[in-house]
Amino acid sequence: MLYLITSYLKFLLRSTNQHGVHSPFMYDLITRCFYDKTVYSEYTLLKEYRNSRYNSKESIEITEFGEGSRVFSSNTRKISAIAKNAGISAKRQELLFRLCQYLNPETVLELGTSLGMATAAMSLGAPNATIDTVEGCPNIAKQAQHGFDAFKLKNIRLHTHSFQDYFKNLKQDSYDLVFIDGSHNKLSTIEVFNELLQFKNDRSVFIFDDIYWSPQMTEAWREIIKHSEVSISMDCFYWGLVFFKPAFDAATNAQQKQHFTIRL
């Protein structure tokens, strides 16, 4: 927790808003999507989906992958507690909806379904997209599928696999948007990024959740944004976004890297 607090204070000192951004592509993304104050009708459905998780009386047995939980000491957990402690917040759920609406991806991949609250946001934000979501724990996957069925989210394909097994059998050519909320350690995050590179295209966006969850996750993020194939990166504190859209210096016509630290 101390690391999270100190990291946020440092983030505030170096971050900016749209007025510090000179890239037309990023300026439009920030002003028309990130700072969009419209109250969309889909927000009501997202709230209902969250409440269906928060109000659940069920408990399930969890199969842990990655770093495990900071909150839970037992593998038997209430659905409501998982939703409140490990689920996406209302603010970020709505932002993910807007991001999908703005980018209009045709193919989406989510690594780490959990109870499907982020998945629901992407489904409503990109209703014409095909959304593949991967969850390693069978009992959590069942709960997510119940939610998708109850809310009639028809464009989601849920896969119950480890990430590694999913990649081994993946036939998809590329994904336009990837949301990674998985193992929360440096090595596996970088491994996932390297696996995903073969499935990117020029319009692809990779979103990494919890980049300040631990020093390891921050190290992974810093290594990822240095990768030669990343042209644009954006630090929003809770999320890190990387783009592969070619960015060129007008004076030299050479490809250049751009990094933005944006307050939301």
Domain ranges of the chain: 2-43+90-261
Looking at residue 89, what is its pLDDT? 95
CA atoms of 106 and 172, how far apart (whole Å)? 12
Phi and psi torsions of 39, nearest 5°: -95, 95
> In which order are the strands placed within the sheet that holds 130-134?
156-159, 130-134, 107-111, 177-180, 205-209, 239-243, 232-235, 258-261
The structure tokens listed for 198 are: 């073969």
CA atoms of 60 and 114, how far apart (whole Å)? 13
The structure tokens listed for 248 are: 């060129």
Phi and psi torsions of 23, nearest 5°: -85, 120
The structure tokens listed for 67 are: 């770093």
Q: Are 96 and 114 contacting, i.e. CB atoms less than 8 angstroms apart?
A: no
Q: Are 128 and 155 contacting, i.e. CB atoms less than 8 angstroms apart?
A: yes
The set of residues, in sequence order, having a beta carbon less than 8 Å from that of 213 and lying 6+ positions away, is: 4, 184
Q: Are 207 and 179 contacting, i.e. CB atoms less than 8 angstroms apart?
A: yes
Question: Is the backbone of residue 221 left (phi > 0), alpha (psi -120 to 50) or beta?
Answer: alpha
Looking at residue 57, what is its pLDDT? 94
Looking at residue 169, what is its pLDDT? 87
- With 0-12 / 13-18 / 19 or more C-beta atoms within 10 angstroms meaning exposed / middle / buried, residue 69 is middle
Looking at residue 252, what is its pLDDT? 46
Q: Are 162 and 65 contacting, i.e. CB atoms less than 8 angstroms apart?
A: yes
Q: Which amino acid is at 177?
A: L
Question: Is the backbone of residue 249 left (phi > 0), alpha (psi -120 to 50) or beta?
Answer: beta
Q: Does domain 2-43+90-261 have CATH number 3.40.718.10?
A: no
CA atoms of 106 and 69, how far apart (whole Å)? 33
CA atoms of 258 and 102, how far apart (whole Å)? 21
CA atoms of 141 and 133, how far apart (whole Å)? 10
Q: Determine which helix (DSSP H) or strand (DSSP E) holds 215, and give its type and residue range.
A: helix 215-225
Q: pLDDT tens track of the chain, all 264 residues?
A: 899 999 999 999 999 888 778 788 889 999 999 999 999 999 999 999 999 999 999 999 988 765 544 444 468 999 999 999 888 999 999 999 999 999 999 999 999 999 999 999 999 999 999 999 999 999 999 999 999 999 999 999 999 999 999 999 898 899 999 999 987 899 999 999 999 999 999 999 999 999 999 999 999 999 999 999 999 999 999 999 999 976 544 444 455 789 999 998
